[in-house]
Amino acid sequence: MHLNGNKKAFYWGAILNYGIIAAGISLIVIIFFVFTKAVFGSQLIINNLVDVFGWWQHGTVIAFFQQFLFLLLIEVFVHTLTSIQNRWYGWVVDGVLLAIIGIFIPVPELRNVLAGFFDMIIFHSSVLTQMISCFALLTISYLLYLPILQRKKI
């Protein structure tokens, strides 16, 4: 932003950068998974995201997109959270997230809600539901970043 860039260019450049990183990591993980399965078979056990999360069940291309959207969601969410840490509402959001975790885990009914949320964005049996929920959450998170960026001083 300090090299004659503006906030709008930074906003779109950041999401493009995160997309490239998520796609690159997803591609490397898929290639590594396929390579180790082909060369070593069941002799070598490696915990890989596509295997642990069950994304491999739907094929290589679908597993790539599931992993890509999940990683992009994590990148955008962390980017948005870290951008508000120097403001009072950043601390409020941190407190709310800690309260959700602290309250939802001990109460069985709320724990089921929390588990359902993570099931929806990671383990859902419906590929479309998992991918749409990840895309919707990352879109909401990145749209929330726009007013934060507009208020930021350069």
Specify the DSSP class assigned to residue 1: -
The CA distances from residue 97 to 117, 139, 153, in Å, are 14, 19, 27
Q: Quick: pLDDT tens for 50-74.
A: 888 989 888 999 999 999 999 999 9
Instruction: Please tell me the pTM assigned to this model.
Output: 0.86
112/52 Cα distance (integer angstroms): 21
Residue 17: predicted pLDDT: 94
Residue 119: predicted pLDDT: 92
28/42 Cα distance (integer angstroms): 20
43 pLDDT more than 70: yes
Are the C-beta atoms of residues 50 and 56 closer than 8 Å to each other?
A: yes
Q: Quote the mean pLDDT of the chain.
A: 89
**Cβ of 137: how many Cβ atoms within 10 Å?**
18
